[in-house]
Structures are given as structure tokens and as C-alpha cells.
Amino acid sequence: MALTPITGEMQAQPLNDNFSFLNQRITDALSSYNVKDYGAIGDGITDDSVAIQSCIDVAEASGRCTVIFPAADYLINTVLTIHHGGNDVGTIFYGPGAKLIAGTVGMTMLDIVKTSADNYQYMGTTHIKELFFEGNSKASIGININELGGFYKSTIDNVSIHNCTVGIKISDSRLWNIKNTDIYSPDISGSIGIQFVSIKDAFCGDCWVGKCQIVTHATTGKAIYGLTTKVSTGSTLNGIHINNCVLYGNGIYISSSDALSTFRDWWISDCAIEVRDITNVAINLIGVAATPGSGAVFISNVWANGHNTGILATNLDALTINGGKINSTNYQAVNLDACRESSITSLKCYDCNKTNNGGGVLMLTNVGYRNKIIGNSIYNVGTNTLCIIYIHASQVKPIVTNNTTDAGTCVTNNVAGVEGTDFIVAGNLS
């Protein structure tokens, strides 16, 4: 077969935009900076803080880059700081087999801050991968993310943080994805695994926590802690997703501190929570009385065991609890206290309310509006439990239907009025 010759001038063509990621990968590889090239020793004895910070500073000046930590133990006596000042700046911390060791009491190990004053600017990307932070029971914070706007799609992936009073603290920041990470807190009062804080009249949220294991030892600790605190006009803590996590020791605590601060759109799903201190609550959600706003929290398929109360919600709108199982509580499995338009459905409760001399396993307490308890199963309740489901007299138009239990009076309804108009209580079986 004859070959047809190619005629004419041949010109190199640029890569199609679909392959632009390849150019970026090549750029990243060429922009790698090794901390040992800047004087880090990595013997776990010599203070490597200055050498590592020098490497970070040079890397940041180059734009998008990777800071590489060869496998070794790096003692740091002063905080390491990542600065971000523009949309195109991104830093990757990469250190499989590397360990950062805190050497100073009360220190923050890694501080991630921005340089722009724009509260709503997206600040580029930061990725922290395969690093071990050993707080040595000295560090107050392992990773501190603190700025008035947000990084863009940043990640903490396959990281270990041990023995820091607070493992990860995210303040007034957005779009962080924490995944495949384990946090072991020291036995220190008030220790926290991951803390979300909205303080400075800003928005904190749109963050994901997935496939993480958090162990907290102190009875006053919290595995995941969300707090909104007003400065002048208020703050919001919205859009936090917690999925496929194991929390051992303590659970989840979310709170609004005042009427102008709210939290909304939290998703807690497919998690296991083992509370070691029977006085603690597995999931505690606290809004502010007389000021509706916090709420729209979705709890799905959560397993919780060994605590005072399984889920305690106060002054919330539109809380949804669907599926899952709550075991071995001293008091209620769920108490919706002064909540509105909230629901408990398809939940299994076993061995709950073991020591309480009154009340129920599922409770609607104080003034509430259109709350629902539907299709739940409640078994092996405490012998002192007066009822299984308790409806306070101040509830407005509650709906309690198709729940089952193996003991006691299934529903105690204190709402006065007409069935079908002022309340619906039907199809519940003892």
C-alpha cells in the first residue's frame, strides 16, 4: 500500500483545555521545595522551626508549590505559618512518614492565615497530606485556620494529630475538606478534636468532615465543637457536613451564644458515637430562646451509645432525625426542647432512660410547634420510666404516630384539645 506524503508546514498545537490539569501537575512537580534543603535536620532534637519556615516562605513566593517533608521527626519550638494573599496562590504540605513534634507549651503548630483584608475573597488552595502532628501534650492547637473569608477547596487528608488540646480549629473560614484523618486528644480538660468558630461578623461553613476518627479523653472535652459568637451584627456557622466518622469519648456540641448568631444546615450522617462519661450528651444542639433562626440540622443513621441523653436539641427550627440507633442512656434517647417543625422518624432506641424516675425515652418538652415523632421503635426501657413518648402540655399541634414499644405506656399526651385539630396521636403500639 502506498503512503501519501504529508505536505505543507507542520506547527505545534497547544494542549486542549481538557488537558490543562496536566500542565498544572507538571508545574507543581517542578515547584517542589524540600525542607531539608533549607537546613531542617529531622532528628527530633534540633529545633527545625526556622529552617522549615524559610522553606515555606520561599515556596510561597513562587506561587503554587509543594513543601516536602522527607520521612523524619521534626522538632518545632515556634509556630509554622502559611500566608495566602491571592486567588492563584496554593500550597501543598506533603510528608508521608514525617512527624512534626511540638516543643513549646501552649504553642500552635501550624497557623494558616490570609494577608488580604477582603472578608469574602477566595484565597487559593491549601492541601495538607500525610503528615503527623505530635502535640506532645504541649501544643494548644495542632492546625489553626483563621481568616475572614475563605480558602478555596482546601483539604486536610490522611493526617494524624495527637495530643493537642485542640486538634483542628477553623475560624471564620470556608470550603475545607477534612478526610481520612485521626485525632487523639490528650486527657486535658476542655480538649477538642475539631472546632468550628464564627466570631467576627463573618460566615464560617461549607466544610466537610469525612471518614475521620476522633478520640477525646477528658470528660469536659468535645469531639466536634461548633460555636457562633456575636461581635456586632452577628455570625453564622452554616453548611457543616459530618459523614462516616467515629467519635469516641465525647460527641458533637453546637451552640449559638446569642440571638444574633446562628447555625444552620448541619448534616450529621452515618456516624458512630461512643460516649465514655455517662453524664455527657452524644449530640447537643443549643439555639437561643425567643429568637428562631438556628436549625435545619439533619441527623441520619447515627449510632450512639453510653451517655446521659442521646440527642438534646434546644430552641431549634427544622431539626430532622431519621434512622439510626441510640443505646444505653441514663435519660432520654432524644429530647426536643422548645423546638419547632422538627421530627424524629424511624429511630431505634434500646436500653434507654435507665435511671430516670420520670419522663420518657422520646420527649417533646416546653413550648414547641408542629413537631413529629413517627415510626420509631423503643425497646428494653428502664423500669422507672413512666412513659415511652412524652408530650408536654405547651406543645402546639404535635403529631405522634405509628411508634412501637415492648413496655409501658407508649404515649403520654398532655396537650389539651381535640384529636386531629390540636394534636394527632394515633397508631402507637405497646
Number of domains in the chain: 1
Confidence of residue 40 (pLDDT cuts 50, 70, 90): very high
| Selected residue with higher pLDDT from 62 and 310 | 310
| pLDDT computed for residue 370 by the predictor | 92
In a domain, 207, yes or no: yes
Highest mean pLDDT among 34-43, 53-62, 245-254, 387-396: 34-43
In a domain, 301, yes or no: no
In a domain, 128, yes or no: yes
In a domain, 424, yes or no: no
Please list, in sequence order, all residues whose beta carbon lies within 8 angstroms of the beta carbon of residue 186, skipping any fewer than 6 positions away: 135, 137, 163, 164, 165, 217, 218
Please list, in sequence order, all residues whose beta carbon lies within 8 angstroms of the beta carbon of residue 116, skipping any fewer than 6 positions away: 85, 86, 123, 149
Average pLDDT of the chain is 83
Of 45-49, 229-233, 365-369, the one with minimum mean pLDDT is 229-233
Do the beta carbons of residue 324 and residue 337 sit within 8 Å? no
Do the beta carbons of residue 147 and residue 123 sit within 8 Å? yes
In a domain, 385, yes or no: no
Rounded Cα distance, 321 and 285, in Å: 12
Beta bridge partners of 182: 160, 213
Q: What is the CATH number of the domain that holds 90?
A: 2.160.20
Confidence of residue 288 (pLDDT cuts 50, 70, 90): confident
In a domain, 204, yes or no: yes
In a domain, 106, yes or no: yes
Tallying the residues shown for the chain, one arrives at 430
Residue type, 89: V
Q: Three-state DSSP class for 396?
A: strand
Among 307, 312, 352, smallest CA distance to 335 is for: 312
Place of cell 497530606: 129
Q: What percent of the chain has pLDDT over 90?
A: 47
In a domain, 16, yes or no: no
Residue 179 belongs to domain spanning: 28-274
